[in-house]
Structure 1
Amino acid sequence: MNTMNENAFSNSKGIRKLETGNYKIGSLFFKTEMLSLFDSDGEEINLDYQQGEILKMFLEADDYFLNKKKTIETLWPDNKDAAKTLAFHNRFNTCITRLRQALSADPNIEVHCKHKKGYELIVKDKTSPKGK
């Protein structure tokens, strides 16, 4: 018996890309063109442009992993000035913190830090005893 929505592509991480190009992330819904996130009741969850772009990049990345340095270079291509490097890293860290807050509408969604490498978007499996 096929319990998966016929109009979606699934993976083992609880993230589905819909035929429309939008995503179902756990119980949340992300509209890629609008960079808008919605909870299970259809209420919009506030994301600024950069947080929306980062979420979209996570969803389009292999294994939902973002290399921090490459992501900063993509979001802020003018970050070449060594004197401003710390400012861009701080800006990125703030975006990740705020994105985590937005995604906390579903407690099964997490953004894990991979030390000195980047970040990974994870949807915990609710069916396993340990939630992993």
Structure 2
Amino acid sequence: MSQALAFALDEQQSDVITADTIKVFNRHLQLDALRGQALLAVDTRQHAFRCEAQCSAATIFSMSEQRPALALCTLAMLWGMFCLYQHRRQMIEGLYGGLALLDGRIVDAKGNVVKLTPMQQQLMEMFFRSPNHSLSKTEICDTLWPKKDDASETLYTLIRRLKPIIEAHSDLKIEADRGKAYELKIK
């Protein structure tokens, strides 16, 4: 636009803008979309002319060389949405009774992390990694408290405190098999 203004002022050989100057200015504009959309203004502080485009940002963007960048940005956004969709689908597929083990954390069906103590977290991971969601008492005690001779009371306390949390966030319950095993079941 500045180049078109310089050509128009040279052609008119005047520092005064007239209707003819505007016609010559529009004729020298190289972009068709700007013809009739560009304004000439006088900057009173610097005693000079300046040009401004009176068109939408979309028009300016379409005239620029940003289309490849826009295409890459759009592809990146679509890829991101696809990855989120796949992540969500995998999480939903991994749900068992409304809970899932996702990235080492127990999450509910909405993707919210269920707040558990470290021992509760370890026990829930063991339940989810077990093929039938069942664990023997000795298996749990040996894994969680390997140096403790009799961890029955500690296990009982852990299960007692974990049950209400699991039941509040899912359709699961922990059932005991006469103190020999524990199973994570759907209610």
TM bin, normalised by shorter chain, reads 0.5 to 0.7
> Could you say which residue in structure 2 is the equivalent of 1:74?
143
Taking a change above 3 Å as real, the CA distance of residues 39 and 73 of structure 1, as seen in their structure-2 partners, is: same
Identity %: 24
Distance 2:103 2:175 in 1: 22
Distance 1:100 1:32 in 2: 22
Distance 1:119 1:37 in 2: 18
Q: Which runs of 5+ in 1 are unaligned?
A: 1-6, 8-17, 125-132
Which aligned pairs between 1:91-106 and structure 2 lie closer than 5 A?
Answer: 91-106=154-169
Matched, 1:37 2:37: no
The root-mean-square deviation of aligned C-alpha atoms, in Å, is: 2.6
Taking a change above 3 Å as real, the CA distance of residues 115 and 92 of structure 1, as seen in their structure-2 partners, is: same
- Structure showing greater Rg: 2
Which aligned pairs between 1:3-42 and structure 2 lie closer than 5 A?
Answer: 18=90, 23-33=94-104, 36-42=105-111
TM-fit CA distance, 1:23: 3.9
Q: Provide the TM-score with structure 2 as the length reference.
A: 0.45
- Check whether the contact 1:27–1:39 (CA below 8 A) recurs between aligned residues: yes
- Check whether the contact 1:23–1:32 (CA below 8 A) recurs between aligned residues: no
TM-fit CA distance, 1:107: 5.3
Taking a change above 3 Å as real, the CA distance of residues 40 and 59 of structure 1, as seen in their structure-2 partners, is: closer
Matched, 1:58 2:127: yes
Distance 2:107 2:128 in 1: 15
Distance 2:113 2:101 in 1: 10
More helix by share: 2
More strand by share: 1
- Check whether the contact 2:137–2:182 (CA below 8 A) recurs between aligned residues: yes
Q: Provide the TM-score with structure 1 as the length reference.
A: 0.62
SS of equivalent to 2:168? coil
SS of equivalent to 2:127? helix
